[in-house]
Amino acid sequence: MPPPREHTHADASTSSPPSTSPSSIAVDMACGMAAGVAYTVTAHPFDTVKVAMQSRKNSSTSSGTAPKSAIAVTSEIIKGPRGALGLFRGLTAPLVGYSIEAGVNYAAFNQSRRWLEHNNPFFPPNDDGSGGGDASSSSSKRSVTRHLAECAVSGALGGSLLSLVVAPTDLIKCRVQDGQFARASDAIRDVVVSSFYFRTRIGN
């Protein structure tokens, strides 16, 4: 008995339509958000040390003292009033923002790639692109090219959507981490009140 034929990209245009139901999108969002939470909780302490080192480096340069190492800055943060929790200062904004970011990115990428695989807009079925060459070789090259095009377009869409979440989240996170504000809500309030856009809107 011959082994079952492996499903390839060439079968996508003849297969059943991809699922774009609310439940499918919700699953993609949930998986992405879970990954975003795990990433943020793991990476945030390192980011806090990085921001602290950058701030202290500017102070050291102006005062003429040698900048501290990452270990020294980490120890200084842990010895502070909040202890080890000081490494998680400013976590609220990125925890919310990055989880939404990862969920949007993951859902947009997956849904876009499924749609592109099924509809095949880059290589219409009547355009085999063989150019008179070997059919199997041409099909293999088209499959690789098509896969790369689908991933590139899907990734670009996901990246453009997540940038709408990343920019404001990073702004709030950095303002809390470098000590400008004690809470994310204070930083958000300051951005809303003092930004040029809102000042002009309120003035009008």
Between these two residues, 43 and 101, which has the higher pLDDT value? 43
166 closest CA partner among 93, 116, 77, 109:
93
Cα distance between residue 106 and residue 78, in whole Å: 35
Percent over 90 (pLDDT), the chain: 13
Residue 92 has pLDDT above 50, yes or no: yes
Residue of higher predicted confidence among 32 and 12: 32
Q: Is the pLDDT of residue 17 over 70?
A: no
pLDDT band, very low/low/confident/very high, at 40 (cuts 50, 70, 90): very high
Helices (H), ranges, 64-85 = 70-78
Tell whether the model's pLDDT for residue 41 goes beyond 80: yes
pLDDT at 82: 87
Confidence at residue 176, expressed as pLDDT on a 0 to 100 scale: 82
- Residue 199: pLDDT over 80: no
In the chain, what are the domain boundaries?
Answer: 19-124+134-203
Mean pLDDT of 158-176: 80
34-43, 69-78, 135-144, 166-175: which has the minimum mean pLDDT?
135-144
Question: What's the chain's average pLDDT?
Answer: 76
Q: What is the pLDDT of residue 10?
A: 46
Residue identified by tokens 């492996």 is 6
Report the distance separating Cα 10 and Cα 39, nearest Å.
35
Question: Would you state the pLDDT for residue 151?
Answer: 85
Task: Name the pLDDT band for 46 (thresholds 50, 70, 90).
Answer: very high
Q: Exposed, middle or buried by CB within 10 Å (0-12, 13-18, 19+), for 48?
A: buried
